Structure 1
Amino acid sequence: MQLILFWILYPILFLISILPFRILYIVSDGVYFLVYYVIGYRKKVVRENIALSLPHLSEKERREIEKKSYKHLCDMFLEMIKTMSISVKEIEKRFVVKNLDEYLELEKEGKSIALMCGHYASYEWSISINSQITFDGFAIYKRITNKHFDNLVKKIRSRFKAYLITTKETIPTIEKNDENGVKGLYGFASDQSPQIRQKTYWSKFMGIEVPVYVGAEILAKKFDMNIMFMKIKKVKRGFYEAEFELLTKEPKSIPDFQITETFLRKVEQQILEAPEFYLWTHKRWKHKGKNKLNKES
């Protein structure tokens, strides 16, 4: 059944991917109308998330952000499909890294790099940096249930010299690379919602206490990696700018969770500057109010 579904959808996706950008965004406008006005995909989740995170705004202002966020979401979805056929030259023109030289200088220090970013703007097109760097690029992702589409996504990413690894594969991959002297750039999108466990770290994100991913910080300390943050800005439709920001070269010297806190504040800053480009459809705040340790204390 999975294979049949793949063969039905693959030709459609490929045809979409070869559309000129001008036509692609006309299609995106149509998808937006269906997703927002007809299907109402996760509209309740988005509305609640924006209300929780941006209570200082009026209802009218929040609704405007909501609509713009869906338009951006549809653009990003179509842009993701576009990576099936887009050339390296074209994607580098549309996803510009402003200070690549600063990153390349950091590579010369001979330490692997943990790159932290949020689900903001075009985090999908950040794969384009892998064709411009020396280190092997690894992105931690959630495996797609349909193995044929999962293989397709991996194949697409490999066009840009990016390797996808699941959460379970992350530590073994880093350990193996470290043992073999392979220097890697490891991408962590650490702003989403982890499962609650006994040792879960809680912090405030957009003013709301939630469980937080700390894997990037823990692994960077364990394997002595440099840590950078990637700030992405949407310049206009189909065009983005990214900028690397050094968080630390000495992660072991930083108090526990301080790196994670710095990361969260940087993502918050992005959201407050232009909230319409954040991924509001994810249930980021679903565990709010569930911190039993704080309640007991």
Structure 2
Amino acid sequence: MQFLVYILIYPFLYIISILPFRLLYMLSDVLFGFVYYIIGYRRKTVRHNLRLVFPEKSEKEINAIAKKFFHHLCDMILESIKSLTISEAEITKRFQFKHIEEIHKLEKANRSIVLMCAHYANFEWIFIAQRFVNHKGYGVYKRLENKYFDRLIKRIRAKYNTDLITTKETIPTLTETKKRGELTINGFISDQSPKANKAFHWKEFMGIKVPVHTGAEMLAKKLDMSVVFFAVKKVKRGYYETTFKTLAVNPKDFKNYDITDQFLKLVEQQIYEAPEYYLWTHKRWKHKDKVPAKFQ
């Protein structure tokens, strides 16, 4: 059944991927109308999240941000599909890097690197960074249920020397690379919500106390990897700029969760500057009323 779904859907994805960007964004505009007005995909969730973190904004302002967000979401979905066939020249033109020297400094110091980012702007195209760094790349991801699409995603990333590994594979894989003396750069999307009963740390995020993932920081300390934050900024439709900021060269010098807290503050800055590019469909604040006594 999985293979049947794959062979039925893949041709449509491929056709979309070879569209010129002008037509791609025309299709995105149509998709927006379908997703926002007809299906109403998670529209209530998005508005609820926006009201929670921006209580000072009017309903008109909330609705305006929500619409801009759904426009961006549709763009990002189609840009992700475009990854199937986009040329290296095209993607390097559209996804540029500032302060890449932060990575190069750590490479020269023979430091492996943990890259932390949020669900903000187009985080999908970061894999092209492998063309500008020397370390072997790994990206932590959630395996797709359909094994054929899962293989496809891995194959796309592998074109640029990045291997995708699941959360369960992360520690054994990176421990083994360390034993071999291999230097790596490892991407973590670290702003999602962990299960409340398994959280080691709770912190205010956008003014609301929530459980936060600390896995990237803990792994960096365990394997002695430097930590770098990368922020993606949407310059204009189809064009992005990524900035790197070193959070910790030697993470063991920091108290537990200090690096994670730094990361969250930087993510907040991104959101306040342009809230429409954050992934508001996530139920990020669903545990806000379940704060354990020891974290209050």
**TM-score interval, smaller chain:** over 0.9
> Structure 1 residue 65 and structure 2 residue 68: aligned?
no
Runs ≥4 residues deviating over 2 A: 196-200, 292-295
1:34 counterpart residue number: 34
Q: Which moved more, 1:272-281 or 1:284-293?
A: 284-293
1:288 counterpart residue number: 288
Cα offsets for 1:106-134 (capped at 9, x unmatched) = 21111100111111011001111012210
Secondary structure class of the residue paired with 1:139: strand
Shift of 1:105: 2.1
Q: Which moved more, 1:96-105 or 1:82-91?
A: 96-105
TM-score, normalised with respect to structure 1:
0.97
Question: Match for 1:110: what amino acid?
Answer: N
Structure 1 residues 46 and 180: alpha-carbon distance in aligned structure 2, compared to 1, 3 A threshold? same
TM-score, normalised with respect to structure 2:
0.98
Aligned partners of 1:143 and 1:196: how far apart in 2? 22
> Structure 1 residue 162 and structure 2 residue 162: aligned?
yes
Secondary structure class of the residue paired with 2:69: helix
For this pair of structures, how many residues does the alignment match? 296
1:179 counterpart residue number: 179
Cα offsets for 1:161-216 (capped at 9, x unmatched) = 21111110110111010001111111111000111235531111111111100011
Question: Match for 1:43: what amino acid?
Answer: R
Mark the runs of 5 or more structure 2 residues left unpaired by the alignment: none
Aligned partners of 2:243 and 2:198: how far apart in 1? 36
> Structure 1 residue 236 and structure 2 residue 219: aligned?
no
Q: Within 5 A, what are the aligned runs for 1:54-93?
A: 54-93=54-93
Aligned partners of 2:99 and 2:78: how far apart in 1? 27
> Structure 1 residue 256 and structure 2 residue 256: aligned?
yes
Aligned partners of 1:199 and 1:192: how far apart in 2? 12
Cα offsets for 1:67-125 (capped at 9, x unmatched) = 00000000000000000000111101100001222321221111100111111011001
Confirm or deny: 8 A CA contact 2:199 2:212 kept in the other structure: no
1:219 counterpart residue number: 219
Aligned partners of 2:202 and 2:125: how far apart in 1? 30
Cα offsets for 1:35-79 (capped at 9, x unmatched) = 000001111111111111111211111110000000000000000
Q: Which moved more, 1:197-206 or 1:113-122?
A: 197-206
Question: Match for 2:221: what amino acid?
Answer: K
Identity, % of aligned positions = 51
Secondary structure class of the residue paired with 2:197: coil
Secondary structure class of the residue paired with 1:31: helix
Aligned partners of 2:183 and 2:293: how far apart in 1? 39
Structure 1 residues 236 and 198: alpha-carbon distance in aligned structure 2, compared to 1, 3 A threshold? closer
Aligned partners of 1:269 and 1:54: how far apart in 2? 14
